[in-house]
Structure 1
Amino acid sequence: MSTSGAPVRIYVSKRVEFTNGSRQLVRCGTRNIAVVCYRDVLYAIDNACYHHGGPLLLGDIEDMGGHPCIVCPWHSYKIALDTGEGLYMGIEGSPKGGKPRQEVRSKGCKQRTHKVEVDTAGDVYVLVDLSGPELESDRYASMELANQERCMSLPVDGGVRGPRAPGIHSRVGMGLRSGHVFNHMSSLPTASDQTRCEDINPFDGT
């Protein structure tokens, strides 16, 4: 199945505002997109994890198999920021009975990534192009329920971990499994009921 429509160019912020590890949430329709700066490179990826819709904006970043990966804070799924592949450590058995060897393996492209552009004025844009085959993350990208975080006008430092901004888990209890969370969200306001762009740091517990 393919999605259609002309690419949409979304303004993010000034390039100078981004430092290593900082990230910013922007919105295109229902879809929340996390823009992440890692080692002086900007990446854009759908914020709702392909697995159960977890908030990737709050994930740690680590290198894995030559890819910068964001780790979903809900279930620790690792997703390559540059390709959208789901990565994991596999075990390669030894035919001679030796010690098994670990190797990075790919589940294929699971999460939708987006091109980031920086113009001559230093303005950062995300090019949202939904052409091509449908990906697993598209299911959650189209759900208001999984995209309730408010977008930001500036990037925030990702070095300080804290509770998720008001949304799926923090409103109904961090102890619930994500599947149960979605079942209990019908009474919560959607993003359309909130201010779309607000200076909010999801890493700040206040």
Structure 2
Amino acid sequence: MCSSEERNSYRLGTTQGWPSRMYFIGKKEDFIQTKRMDVTLDGRDILIIYHQRTFYLGDIEEINNKLCIVCPKHKYKITLAEGEGLYKATNPAEKVPIPQWYSKGMKQRVHKVTEVDEDIFVTLSNCPGWVESDYYQTEKGRAELRKAQESEDGEEDVNADEDV
């Protein structure tokens, strides 16, 4: 995992030995109209969202004073700034357990979105090491996602027949 300082230097493309490449994604006006775009860069699937005059990667919610993306299927909450997984829980040892937000650590790579003269670019994260979300960028992970989607589609078809 990268420290905050390492993540910032990778994000800025300043770390020696880790060349950064900015990928042209589209014109700012296109994003303002569509609000979101899916792209594949170097085999990595990326979702870019335009929210409140800022570009992000994923659906945005504010959780515990942090902007987060939220997985529409699993409801996982990931901070935009660090890729940190958040979850809400209570401490059963407390006399009056009060739900609080806790960190699962870095779970998702954070990529940089840059605007230059109305053009939008993405620089992929160069944070070394394995991040949990990397699994879904492998062939095995993508096959698992396809299988889960096909299973969901089949369930929807069966349920549609029952409603007739």
Taking structure 2 as the reference length, the TM-score comes to 0.69
- CA-CA distance at 1:93 after TM superposition: 5.2
**Structure 2 CA distance for aligned equivalents of residues 141 and 77 of structure 1:** 18
* Letter matched to residue 87 of structure 1: L
Structure 1 unmatched ranges of 5 or more: 45-56, 148-166, 177-206
Deviations 1:7-51 (A, max 9, x none): 23211111223349921111112211111222222123xxxxxxx
Q: How many angstroms apart in 2 are the aligned matches of 1:100 and 1:37?
A: 38
**1:79 to partner: Cα distance:** 1.2
**Cα-Cα RMSD:** 3.1
**Are 2:19 and 1:6 aligned?**
yes
Instruction: Indicate the residue corresponding to 1:73 in structure 2.
Output: 72
Q: Residue 90 of structure 1 contacts residue 105 of structure 1 at CA under 8 Å; is this kept in 2?
A: yes
Q: CA deviation at 1:82?
A: 2.4
Contact 1:24 1:35 (C-alpha < 8 Å) held by counterparts: yes
Any conservation in 2 of the 1:20–1:40 contact (CA below 8 Å)?
A: no
Residue 130 in structure 1 maps to residue 126 in structure 2: yes
Task: Determine whether 1:113 maps to 2:88.
Answer: no
- The answer to which structure has the higher helix fraction is 2
| Residue in 2 that maps onto 1:101 | 98
Find the counterpart in structure 1 of residue 150 from structure 2: 171
Q: Which has the larger radius of gyration?
A: 2
Asked if 2 retains the 8 angstrom alpha-carbon contact of 1:89 and 1:102, the reply is yes
Distance 2:137 2:150 in 1: 20
Identity, in percent, stands at: 31
Aligned partner (choices 35, 38, 58) of residue 25 of structure 1:
38
CA distance in 2, matches of 1:74, 1:84: 18
Q: Separation in 1 of the partners of 2:81 and 2:89?
A: 21
Which of 23, 38, 50 aligns to 1:37? It is: 50
CA distance in 2: counterparts of 1:75 and 1:108, whole angstroms: 17
Change (3 A) 1:61 1:175: farther
Equivalent pairs counted in the alignment come to 140
RCO higher in structure (CA 8 A, sep ≥6): 1
Structure 2 gaps of 5+ residues are: 3-16, 156-164
TM-fit CA distance, 1:168: 4.9
